Amino acid sequence: MDNNILHINNGGCVKVADIPVLAYDSFRTLTIELMGDKARHCASYFAYPCGDGLRLMMCIADDNAHDILVFACDVEKGAKLESAAKDILALERYEREIHENWGLEFEGHPWYKPVRNFFPDKYEFFKMEGEELHEVGVGPVHAGVIEPGHFRFICNGEDVLHLEIQLGWQHRGTERLMLEKKRLIERVLLAEGVAGDTAVSHSTAFAGVWESLCGYTPDKSVLWARTLAAELERMANHTGDLGAICGDVAYQLGAAVYGRLRTPIVNFSQRWCGNRLGKGNVRPAYAPYAFTEELRQQLLSDLAAYERDFLEMCDKVQHFPSVLSRLERTGVVSKEQAESIGAVGMAAKCAGVSRDIRASHPYGLYAGLVEPVVKTTGDVLARTELRIDEVKQSLRIVRALLEDMPEFDGKMQSAGTPKADSFAISLTEGWRGEICHCAVTDAEGELAAYKIKDPSFHNWMALALAVRGNEISDFPICNKSFNLSYCGHDL
């Protein structure tokens, strides 16, 4: 079996020729066998044109062995294949995506629902028959300033029996543009724009892929700046989400205080790199914005003020009966569900699945720095407390980083040019969860395929499962507790 698998590390680069190519039957059997182990999950599964046909590339992350298992399969265009998703549910969205992008048929797939190419007049939503049932359709245009997505509930009175989520309104063709745009700066900007609130983690993943394709090792100061920026991004987003969760249960005090607390963090980012979301802060091969002693002092005093108010507010929220009664036992995702759909990041960690790339496949300066925060109840309260604990953890990480500040030379560097016929993969843990970028180069060293996977790709399914059996009036709070990305999913 081991001859059929190539083991690579996070941020590794291999020759495409070294990746074992199997026949589809053994490819499928091997996938199902490997995914049977709960410590493994699919980091990316995609197809790209190779010769006259298509090559399927499977990347499975192994949390225990801390590596990524890669193997491939060549198939003809328009081939009819036996679905692997009917055995491993976590693969269903990948197969739908491959079907939609490349026209391969997966026979026995549980539900061929469009992933992104959605045309309302050609599509029949899932239906249930019954006198007492009614449907509620929400979106794609919503009452708040949020991204477009369509939610269709089938309800019995106030109770939700089924939620169907239809996305795709934000499909911009990011992966195609990655290949079409030849300049590095254009590609970095595309990576930053995959999901604007996760700009740092997505551009870090892109930089990881690019540097390993070029065979370039960045120095410590570059990794240090990326790690710091990622933790600040996590803190800012988690704090904003806590405010939004309080806002959704109409707890005005929490909404006001957390809303205010997010500001100093994003403002610090503005002071450091000129952008509140950290755009422009991560570039392949070098750190564009030096971190000075003055910035260090500023950040330390910002954090001291932040921590005092944050802890006080969290203490209130975590002990306030009327808030707890809204959060507890609302939107539960069980451990079995999280494992079966291959949930990552917060959706997995709140349901008792310890899945954190910073711990299992460390990158940047994370090695040994992070012990994943895991909650077991899987409800909205678990996701709230997870955020609180992760912010506390990020505070510790940021302070540890500030203790050991490297020298910045501030010089612009180039990583060089990508090696020909290579495959590179880079995983990062964004604040939502695992982000995976994969790239394949052709004989000239040009990008032949670029695959992006945002954690929302897996986790939208967790939301659909979480609201089943809940009241429809609790949907907004469930949705907010996941706070998934529409554009990250739609690419």
Partner 1 sequence: MTSLILILISALFFNGIIGRVKSRCAGRKGPGIMQPIQDVIRLFRKGAVYSDVTGPVFKMAPAVYLASVIIACLCVPFGHKAGLISFNGDFVFFAYALALGKFFCIIGALDTGSSFEGMGASREATYSMLAEPAFFLIMGSLAMMTGHSSFESIFAALHPSSTMSWALAVIAAFIFLVLAMIENSRMPVDDPKTHLELTMIHEVMVLDNSGIDLGLIFVTGYLKFAMYAALIANLFIGSIPVGFGIPVFLAIQVLCAVIIGVNESFTARFRMNHNPQFIFTLACIALLAVFGVMLMSGQLV
Could you count the other beta carbons within 10 Å of the beta carbon of residue 192?
Answer: 22
DSSP bridge pairs for 107 = 82
Give the integer Cα–Cα distance in Å for 431 and 234: 5
**Is the Cβ of residue 74 or residue 135 nearer to partner 1 in the bound state?**
135
**Is the Cβ of residue 13 or residue 155 nearer to partner 1 in the bound state?**
155
Give the integer Cα–Cα distance in Å for 188 and 181: 10
137 lies in the site for partner 1, by CB under 8 A: yes
Element (H, E) at 438: strand 434-441
**Is the Cβ of residue 11 or residue 139 nearer to partner 1 in the bound state?**
139
**Is the Cβ of residue 82 or residue 135 nearer to partner 1 in the bound state?**
135
Stretch that binds partner 1, among 120-128, 323-331, 353-361, 395-403 (CB under 8 A): 323-331
Give the integer Cα–Cα distance in Å for 448 and 16: 11
Both tokens assigned to 444: 């000239």
Contacting residues for 118 by C-beta, under 8 A, at least 6 apart: 166, 167, 168, 169
473 lies in the site for partner 1, by CB under 8 A: yes
**Is the Cβ of residue 225 or residue 246 nearer to partner 1 in the bound state?**
246
Contact in structure between 431 and 271 (CB atoms under 8 Å): no
186 lies in the site for partner 1, by CB under 8 A: no
Q: What is the DSSP string of 51-114?
A: TTEEEEEEEEEETTTTEEEEEEEEE-TT-EEE-STTT-GGGHHHHHHHHHHH--EEET-S----
**Is the Cβ of residue 31 or residue 239 nearer to partner 1 in the bound state?**
239
472 lies in the site for partner 1, by CB under 8 A: yes
249 lies in the site for partner 1, by CB under 8 A: yes
Among 177, 256, 290, 374, binds partner 1 (CB under 8 A): 256
Least gap, CB of 479 to partner 1 (angstroms): 9
DSSP character at residue 385 = H
Least gap, CB of 103 to partner 1 (angstroms): 36
Among 65, 250, 367, 400, binds partner 1 (CB under 8 A): 250
Least gap, CB of 482 to partner 1 (angstroms): 15
Both tokens assigned to 485: 């990305």
Stretch that binds partner 1, among 69-77, 339-347, 423-431, 468-476 (CB under 8 A): 468-476
Stretch that binds partner 1, among 123-131, 407-415, 458-466, 473-481 (CB under 8 A): 473-481
158 lies in the site for partner 1, by CB under 8 A: yes
Amino acid at residue number 295? L
315 lies in the site for partner 1, by CB under 8 A: no
Q: Please count the residues of this chain forming the interface with partner 1, following the rule CB under 8 A.
A: 32
138 lies in the site for partner 1, by CB under 8 A: yes
Give the integer Cα–Cα distance in Å for 23 and 80: 13
Q: How far is CA 253 from the centre of its chain?
A: 30
167 lies in the site for partner 1, by CB under 8 A: no
Residues that bind partner 1 (CB under 8 A): 134-138, 143-144, 158, 246-253, 255-256, 260, 320, 322-323, 325-326, 330, 471-477
